[in-house]
Structure 1
Amino acid sequence: MPDAVTVVGIGADGWEGLTPAARAAVESSEVLMGSTRQLALVPAMDASRVAWPSPLSEALPGLLREHRGRRICVLASGDPTFHGIGTTLVRLLGADAVHVIPHPSSVSLACARLGWPQHQVQVVSLVTNPVERLHPHVQPGRQLLILSRGAQTPAEVAALLDARGYGSSEFTVLEQLGGPSERIRAARAASWSEDVDALNVIAVACQGPALSTAPGLPDDAYENDGQLTKREVRAVTLSRLAPVPGQLLWDVGGGAGSIAIEWSRHHASCRAIAVERDPDRAKRLERNAATLGAWVTVVQGSAPAALDGLESPDAIFIGGGATAAGMFDACWDVLKPGGRLVTNGVTLETESLIAQWYKAHGGDLVRLEVHRASPVGTMTAWRPAMPVTIWSVVK
């Protein structure tokens, strides 16, 4: 790898917007790397120009090795350490080997144009993420700044907002921020239908119904065939799983996917792998995850065999198939130290196994009974749901 790389942030204002230090870094380079658009913003000079190939993540280490020993300057959009290549280079080379000269980010420029307080804005990148990733952030009163993948992203975002009941949200598209072709247009999300430049940022002042990210969404938020961990049990189960930002959950016997989905909705960096043997349920689970904007990978197959080769989890929920031979051992063996395992049981057979595991490994054992009010003639009475035994343990 090269001894050091300089990363220069550049905006739509191009060469004219660079500081003297940034210009000096570009002019003194022997190799200038960046996207075709970014390289076109810099005047001709002696440095060799290398346009990013696709996919960049796979090619970048080889490019750096190829030009080792030469002064490398990398061009990046805006602030290179804000959803930019600067963080990728630091991860590859280490912080000491990367010198960053930032430019105002598109978020800074957008907030300046809109008069929004930057520390209160939620930034969501759709550069490499599907538009459904917006769902957990769409809440009444929130101010969202969305980094677009391209010219089609505003229309996709507007359609998602309208479908969620947020069509009345203030919807602003800011194009070519900081450059001579800068343009800002506003409308309601439901009425957005404009063509835009590929270099754009979307601002949304959300107006619509709330859908909490706290555990225990209404049962009717999920498309299901009855294979669903019910709302009250789900909330208790997730409290035992204890989601932590950046961690991975296995939801074994995913059903409608409610546990995996609400784990992932806890924080944008929470991930889940849901294993479901029934192909129709697996497809339904994928639809639920997309609708609710959860980061869930669905594996269609029978556990424990389907667990082989999966990334080791920080937490495991066994919601189905607990009585399958070797299920508990297969899960316990790969669970990370400090990880949480939770199993729910409603049948005598599953409860018998849970009792054995509890005796061997300790943990916390709870029996949950829920009664719901329902009409009896002209009056109201309590109807009990099946009691659920919840075992949770920390490895």
Structure 2
Amino acid sequence: MSELFVYGISGEALPPVCVRQLESCTAVVVSKRFTSLLPEQGPRRIAVAPVQEMLVAVADALQTGDVMVLASGDPLFYGIGRTLIDRFGPENVNFYPALSAVQLACACFKLPWDDLVLLSLHGREPGSLAGRILPHTKVMLFTDHRNSPDRIAAILLQTLRKYGDEKRLGKIRVRVAENMGTGDEKLTSGSLTKIAATRFGPLNMMLVEQDLPVMNLPVFGLQEGEIIHSRGLITKDEIRAVILHCLRLPARGVFWDVGGGSGSIS
């Protein structure tokens, strides 16, 4: 079987090794974003979307020769790499990554990212955005045209105002990097209110930062005085301890506590 050569692209030109490899391929998978980087005379072009149609076309092209895939940044980091490995097997796919969007954004922000929380909304349903962002001091978000920085900021604003947390609202800092590695690169920073009122291009990364108090509370074993409740309406410590023991909760997962109390079990 022929092979797949997956090249990550960062910037506005193909790496020389990629150009040389392209000459021996029978087809190239490319998005509209990278079409202008290809030579006019070259292998057959396969659109990257819809993905399932692309996979069928690639499988057909592999019958006659090697196929190249052009992807953004690191194809194995929230990219097309996983899909290609699952479909064609790791033994038939070769990867040549470029700098990822996270690396480029953190370089622009001058921000170490070994302790960064990463959240990809690219082509995904956002779920409870506020619940996924607000518990952390630093969150980097992969955005898309639906989950744009202004929409995300508006959701955080709405949530904090709903619960009357104006103090925290004013302390959250947001930075957005657009079109990184190109001549149109742009950095924007400001409050949630400013970001919610600003419009951004489709290619960007969003950083949400805040200073959170240090909490040294245990995962289990909170005492009655450490849980917010009303008029003593809380399951007593001993009963909660037995319930948590009997539940045998896994390390990861979602447990639904359907009731009308303080939520002290969940």
Note closer, same or farther for the CA distance 1:235–1:84 as it changes in structure 2 (3 Å cut): farther
Give matches, 1:159-178, under 5 Å.
Answer: 159-162=154-157, 163-164=159-160, 165=165, 166-167=168-169, 168-178=171-181
TM-score, structure 1 normalization: 0.53
**Residue of structure 2 in register with 1:361 after alignment:** none
Determine helix, strand or coil for the equivalent of 1:119. Answer: coil
Note closer, same or farther for the CA distance 1:64–1:138 as it changes in structure 2 (3 Å cut): same
**Residue of structure 2 in register with 1:53 after alignment:** 49
AA partner of residue 12 (structure 2): G
Post-superposition shift, 1:210? 8.8
Q: Which runs of 5+ in 1 are unaligned?
A: 221-228, 263-395
Q: Tell me the distance in 2 between the aligned counterparts of 1:235 and 1:41.
A: 62
Q: Tell me the distance in 2 between the aligned counterparts of 1:80 and 1:231.
A: 51
The answer as to 2:130 corresponding to 1:130 is no
Determine helix, strand or coil for the equivalent of 1:155. Answer: helix
Q: CA RMSD in A?
A: 3.4
Q: Give CA deviations for 1:69-122 in whole Å, capped at 9, x if unaligned.
A: 221111111100000001221122222211011010010011111111121111
**Residue of structure 2 in register with 1:99 after alignment:** 94
Q: Give CA deviations for 1:215-239 in whole Å, capped at 9, x if unaligned.
A: 679577xxxxxxxx96966676556
Give matches, 1:1-395, under 5 Å.
Answer: 3-11=2-10, 13-15=11-13, 18-54=14-50, 56=51, 58-69=52-63, 70-127=65-122, 128-130=124-126, 132-133=128-129, 135-139=131-135, 142-150=137-145, 153-162=148-157, 163-164=159-160, 165=165, 166-167=168-169, 168-192=171-195, 193-207=197-211, 214=219, 237=243, 240-245=247-252, 254=258
Q: Give CA deviations for 1:273-330 in whole Å, capped at 9, x if unaligned.
A: xxxxxxxxxxxxxxxxxxxxxxxxxxxxxxxxxxxxxxxxxxxxxxxxxxxxxxxxxx
Note closer, same or farther for the CA distance 1:190–1:43 as it changes in structure 2 (3 Å cut): same
Note closer, same or farther for the CA distance 1:35–1:213 as it changes in structure 2 (3 Å cut): farther
* Deviates further, 124-133 or 231-240: 231-240
Determine helix, strand or coil for the equivalent of 1:118. Answer: coil
Q: Tell me the distance in 1 between the aligned counterparts of 2:7 and 2:212.
A: 40
**Residue of structure 2 in register with 1:383 after alignment:** none
Q: Tell me the distance in 1 between the aligned counterparts of 2:242 and 2:186.
A: 49
Q: Which runs of 5+ in 2 are unaligned?
A: none
Q: Tell me the distance in 1 between the aligned counterparts of 2:144 and 2:81.
A: 18
Determine helix, strand or coil for the equivalent of 1:244. Answer: coil
AA partner of residue 76 (structure 2): T
AA partner of residue 203 (structure 2): L
Q: Give CA deviations for 1:154-205 in whole Å, capped at 9, x if unaligned.
A: 0122123222345331111100011111000101113321111000100111
> How many correspondences in the alignment?
243
TM-score, structure 2 normalization: 0.76
Kept in 1, the 8 Å contact 2:26–2:61? The answer is: no
Q: Tell me the distance in 1 between the aligned counterparts of 2:183 and 2:241.
A: 52
Work out the percentage of aligned pairs sharing the same amino acid. Answer: 24
Note closer, same or farther for the CA distance 1:191–1:22 as it changes in structure 2 (3 Å cut): same
Q: Give CA deviations for 1:243-290 in whole Å, capped at 9, x if unaligned.
A: 334xx6685x9557x99x96xxxxxxxxxxxxxxxxxxxxxxxxxxxx
Note closer, same or farther for the CA distance 1:237–1:63 as it changes in structure 2 (3 Å cut): farther
Note closer, same or farther for the CA distance 1:76–1:238 as it changes in structure 2 (3 Å cut): farther
For the pair shown, the structure with the greater C-alpha radius of gyration is 1
Note closer, same or farther for the CA distance 1:231–1:74 as it changes in structure 2 (3 Å cut): farther
* Deviates further, 78-87 or 35-44: 35-44
